[in-house]
Amino acid sequence: MPQRRSAPAQPPRRSAVNAVSETLQDALPDHLDQQAERLMHRVCDLELTVATAESCTGGMLAALLTDIEGAGHGFERGFVAYSEQAKTELLGIEPDLLKENEAVSEAVARAMAEGALARSHADIALGVTGFAGPAGDHEQGLVHMALARRERPTMHREEHFGAIGRGPVRVKSLKAMLEMLEQSLEQA
Report the CATH fold assignment for 36-129+137-155+180-188: Maf protein (3.90.950)
pLDDT in tens, 90-100: 999 999 999 99
C-alpha 53/C-alpha 126 separation (Å) is 6
In the chain, how long is the greatest CA-to-CA distance? 79
pLDDT in tens, 20-50: 445 555 667 778 999 999 999 999 999 999 9
Are 38 and 74 in contact, with CB atoms under 8 Å apart? no
The predicted model scores a pTM of 0.85
C-alpha 166/C-alpha 38 separation (Å) is 26
Domain ranges of the chain: 36-129+137-155+180-188
